[in-house]
Chain A
Amino acid sequence: MSEKKTLTIALAGNPNSGKTTIFNNITGTRQKVGNWPGVTVEKKEGLINKFGYELKIVDLPGTYSLTPFSIEEIVARNFVLEESPDVIIDIIDSSNLERSLYLATQLREIDSKVLFALNMADLASSHGTKIDAEKLSNLLDVPVVFTVGNKNEGMDILLKEAIKLAESSPDKSENRNVKYSRDIENAITKIQGLIERKAKDRINYKTRWTAIKLLEDDKIVKERFVEKAGAAGEEILEETGVLRKYLLNAFDEDPEIVMTDDRYGFIAGIIKEVQTITVKQRVDVSRNIDLVLTNRFIGFPIFIFFIWAMFQLTFTLGAYPMDWIESGVSLISSYAGSIVPESLFKDLLINGIIGGVGSVIVFLPNILILFFCIALLEDTGYMARAAFIMDKIMHLIGLHGKSFIPMLMGFGCNVPAIMATRTLESEKDRILTILITPFMSCSAKLPVYIVLAGTFFAAKAGNVIFSLYLLGIILSIISGRLFRSTLLKGIDAPFVMELPPYRVPMLRSLMIHMWDRSKMFLKRMGGVILVGSVIVWSLSAFPRNVDYSADYSAEMDRANESFNIKIAAADEKGKELLKNERIVAIAEIEKAMNAVKTEKSYMGRIGKGVSPVFEPLGIDWRGSVSLLTGFFAKEIVVSTLGVLYSTEGPGDKDALKNALRSSGMTPLSALSMMVFVLLYLPCLATIAMIRKETASFKWTAFSIIYSTSVAWIASFCVFQGGKLLGFS
């Protein structure tokens, strides 16, 4: 095999320009999805062999410009600057030529080899917009290729042109650059001259580009410039400062603002030459759809319906495959149980590893469906409309309209909800949403409420549970406002959002999107959950040698024996009955034994150790232990309560209720416990997700500490306040 030459091709372009579709067309399923280093912006790349080359295709984040304001822009620009791709393909939405050229002029300015892909020109021309590609190519000195992403047209030509461009000699022409106002050009020339004289050999960026960025007061470039050029750099910066002041006086405007205007002026000139709009009254399907979907009266009902449908699909339809997976897991676990000999390892394997990972893998159907729905909302263009109509409400909490979806999903399960925050562009919005989403009462907490409210509030249980949900929402609003004005201060992310035309989504892209997310979930969660499960299992399984107060195995033997005698004496019908009774009796003894085991385990000891903390909340040590085990998954609170309380009485459904009632728990302490369950630290899977999505240990720890503190304070207020008011 001969060595193939590798070329790096970066895809740049505005959001909604069809960039992702083209990327999918080119790379197919050979793509790797990960994160850009240090940030949670998705990085996609694919390696393909074509025309005798090995092509590494990198999908840059969709941006409108390269001014480093958002992480996407910083990521895109850094890639272009630091990795110097051989060619950048700028994908241009033909119906949006003017705005698209803004990014194009910036790419051109960096002096990298740029190729334009005029995408969806067929659609643009049907709307009356014609583009003279040859003229555009001549004016900007850039090769231009027509593509139709959703019909997979023009991909080969695009790649061939890209290879040709990569192999061509570096392009020296500077006369196709944006020409700024004369005063600005003079300043650029002056700075460029200074750089060339004093620091040329120390910086690796193009001098004109560096001069422009310094004049624009670009913080990142300034920092790097001084880092590399040292004292000479400081000197040049000082000189630049003087020039900026002069320009500020001359234009009564910051130079970067004038330069933005100039770029659009330059673009307007090009547009005049290359674009012809035949005025015909176009039937705009998108606007007709919008007349309904963002209608003043029915916009909200339709939105609520879509969200309701998504929720139903995710959690109701998802419940079926969830059951299958659950039975699959128990099948594996019983199979493992039958082949692995009785040992500590068996316990670890079945209760720790299979049980732990199994309890997380059941979320997979939810995640698949949810991300299919989200991809559908995004690819059709409805997501932008949802944000448009919800923004007013969400803005009151200091959030972006799009934060609504993750918060709502939080009622189902926090794991996909936190993954859904990826649709938010601003990192601050993302972190804020991640911090308050766990207050949305997830479905795993419901069994806890049902047991406790059902036991102590009987007929009023529904109202109590509803109030809990409401409390969660109110606290998330308060927390949101609090964080916005303290920790995550700063101007709100602007709501400058494009409302792209509605498009028919492509199944392929939906599937790729859904699969990427799920793969990420399975891969990353696998590791954390595995470790977490083993830790939790160890805490509840050790120490092995529990000093039982009673001899349970002897008790079991006795029960077995007495039943065996009875069964031998009974008739056919009685035998069946007695056999069932025997199973119940043995289970009772096992339960009692487990209760002691849990109590004496490290988990139980920790529970007892921390119970003074829970005392002011009216929660006894058994409650404390169940809350601790709830860290693993909230449903477990109920089963731990079951193990710890149901030490006596028949094994029927009401056993736990009766046990709870006779344990000294009161309606007030039950309420306090429910409030605590509602608010305290999220489950292990959610915490792992928070860690991954914030990419910060600090925020994860903060989320845990904050939610637990809020839980304690709220429960304290409920319990002590209730006592003061005379409730019990």
Chain B
Amino acid sequence: MLLSEMKKGETAVIVRVGGNGALRRRILEMGIVKGAQIYVDKYAPLKDPLELIVKNYHISLRVEEAAQITVEKLQQQD
């Protein structure tokens, strides 16, 4: 599934970062790389952008940017 389809509070593992050029490289350089675990902390009040936790820090992406990232959702464990 796409990162942009994930709901608040869900965790996933990144499968592929799509897109091209500078944006893609920038996303990768911020640590959103294949295999990294990512947690959807929340969406902004207007549903865009969204706040993620990756590698122990908070980062925000626009929904259209998150739509370039393929993830595999992890089962919720509590």
For the complex formed, measure the closest distance between the CB of A220 and the CB atoms of chain B, giving whole angstroms.
14
Chain B, 19-78, CB within 8 A of any chain A CB: 21-31, 33-34, 36, 41-42, 44-49, 51, 55-62, 65
CB < 8 Å A-B pair total = 108
- Separation of A491 and B22 alpha carbons in the complex (Å): 9
Q: With A96-B56, A261-B28, A496-B26 given, is the CB distance from A389 to B46 under 8 Å?
A: yes
A393 close to B46 (CB less than 8 A): yes
For the complex formed, measure the closest distance between the CB of A247 and the CB atoms of chain B, giving whole angstroms.
16
Judged by a CB distance under 8 angstroms, whether A224 is at the interface is no
Contacts of B55 in A (CB 8 A): 96, 98-99
- Separation of A648 and B65 alpha carbons in the complex (Å): 66
Contacts of B22 in A (CB 8 A): 69, 491, 494
Judged by a CB distance under 8 angstroms, whether A257 is at the interface is yes
Contacts of B57 in A (CB 8 A): 95-96, 99, 498, 500
B42 close to A294 (CB less than 8 A): yes
Q: A494 contacts which of B27, B36, B58 (Cβ < 8 Å)?
A: B27
Contact with B along A88-104 (1 / 0, CB 8 A): 00000001101100100
Q: For B17, give the chain A residue with the smallest CB separation.
A: A257
**Residue from A299, A393, A496, A501 whose CB has the most chain B CB atoms within 10 Å:** A496
Contacts of A393 in B (CB 8 A): 46
Chain A, 498-513, CB within 8 A of any chain B CB: 498-501
Q: With A64-B29, A69-B25, A264-B33 given, is the CB distance from A296 to B59 under 8 Å?
A: no
Contacts of A306 in B (CB 8 A): none
A491 close to B61 (CB less than 8 A): no
B49 close to A257 (CB less than 8 A): no
Contact with B along A290-317 (1 / 0, CB 8 A): 1000111101100000000000000000
Q: For B63, give the chain A residue with the smallest CB separation.
A: A392
Judged by a CB distance under 8 angstroms, whether A65 is at the interface is yes
B31 close to A99 (CB less than 8 A): yes
Q: B31 contacts which of A102, A384, A391, A395 (Cβ < 8 Å)?
A: A102
Contact with B along A277-294 (1 / 0, CB 8 A): 000000000110010001
Contacts of B33 in A (CB 8 A): 260-261, 264
- Separation of A98 and B54 alpha carbons in the complex (Å): 10
Q: For B52, give the chain A residue with the smallest CB separation.
A: A499
Q: For A103, give the chain B residue with the smallest CB separation.
A: B29
Judged by a CB distance under 8 angstroms, whether A49 is at the interface is no
A494 close to B65 (CB less than 8 A): yes
Contacts of A297 in B (CB 8 A): 45
A260 close to B45 (CB less than 8 A): no
Chain A, 233-277, CB within 8 A of any chain B CB: 256-257, 260-261, 264
- Separation of A287 and B51 alpha carbons in the complex (Å): 11
B24 close to A495 (CB less than 8 A): no
B28 close to A257 (CB less than 8 A): yes
- Separation of A498 and B58 alpha carbons in the complex (Å): 6
A392 close to B51 (CB less than 8 A): no
Q: With A98-B31, A300-B45 given, is the CB distance from A260 to B25 under 8 Å?
A: yes
Judged by a CB distance under 8 angstroms, whether A696 is at the interface is no
For the complex formed, measure the closest distance between the CB of A698 and the CB atoms of chain B, giving whole angstroms.
24
Q: For B29, give the chain A residue with the smallest CB separation.
A: A65
Contacts of A64 in B (CB 8 A): 29-30
Q: With A296-B45, A494-B65 given, is the CB distance from A102 to B60 under 8 Å?
A: no
- Separation of A498 and B48 alpha carbons in the complex (Å): 15
A491 close to B21 (CB less than 8 A): yes
- Separation of A67 and B28 alpha carbons in the complex (Å): 12
Q: With A256-B25, A299-B45, A491-B23 given, is the CB distance from A496 to B30 under 8 Å?
A: yes
For the complex formed, measure the closest distance between the CB of B70 and the CB atoms of chain A, giving whole angstroms.
14
**Residue from B22, B31, B48, B59 whose CB has the most chain A CB atoms within 10 Å:** B31
Contacts of B42 in A (CB 8 A): 290, 294
Contacts of B65 in A (CB 8 A): 494-496
- Separation of A382 and B42 alpha carbons in the complex (Å): 16
A260 close to B59 (CB less than 8 A): no
Contact with B along A364-391 (1 / 0, CB 8 A): 0000000000000000000010001101
Q: With A256-B25, A496-B26, A498-B58 given, is the CB distance from A388 to B51 under 8 Å?
A: yes
A499 close to B29 (CB less than 8 A): no
Q: For B62, give the chain A residue with the smallest CB separation.
A: A495
Contacts of B58 in A (CB 8 A): 286, 498-501
A260 close to B29 (CB less than 8 A): yes
Q: A499 contacts which of B24, B25, B59, B62 (Cβ < 8 Å)?
A: B59
B60 close to A495 (CB less than 8 A): yes
For the complex formed, measure the closest distance between the CB of B38 and the CB atoms of chain A, giving whole angstroms.
13
Q: B56 contacts which of A98, A261, A299 (Cβ < 8 Å)?
A: A98
Chain A, 458-505, CB within 8 A of any chain B CB: 491, 494-501
- Separation of A296 and B45 alpha carbons in the complex (Å): 4
A494 close to B23 (CB less than 8 A): yes
Contacts of A102 in B (CB 8 A): 29, 31
- Separation of A261 and B36 alpha carbons in the complex (Å): 11
For the complex formed, measure the closest distance between the CB of A109 and the CB atoms of chain B, giving whole angstroms.
14
For the complex formed, measure the closest distance between the CB of B7 and the CB atoms of chain A, giving whole angstroms.
14
- Separation of A290 and B51 alpha carbons in the complex (Å): 11
Contacts of A501 in B (CB 8 A): 58
Contacts of A392 in B (CB 8 A): 44, 46-49
Contacts of A264 in B (CB 8 A): 28, 31, 33, 36
Which 7 residue pairs across A and B have the least CB separation, nearest first? A392-B46, A499-B58, A494-B23, A495-B62, A260-B28, A65-B29, A392-B48
Interface residues of A (CB under 8 A from B): 64-65, 67, 69, 95-96, 98-99, 102, 129, 256-257, 260-261, 264, 286-287, 290, 294-297, 299-300, 384, 388-389, 391-393, 395, 491, 494-501
21 CB < 8 A contacts A-B: A69-B26, A96-B55, A96-B56, A98-B56, A102-B31, A261-B33, A294-B51, A384-B60, A388-B44, A389-B45, A391-B44, A392-B48, A393-B46, A395-B62, A494-B62, A495-B61, A496-B60, A496-B65, A499-B51, A500-B57, A500-B58
Interface residues of B (CB under 8 A from A): 21-31, 33-34, 36, 41-42, 44-49, 51, 55-62, 65
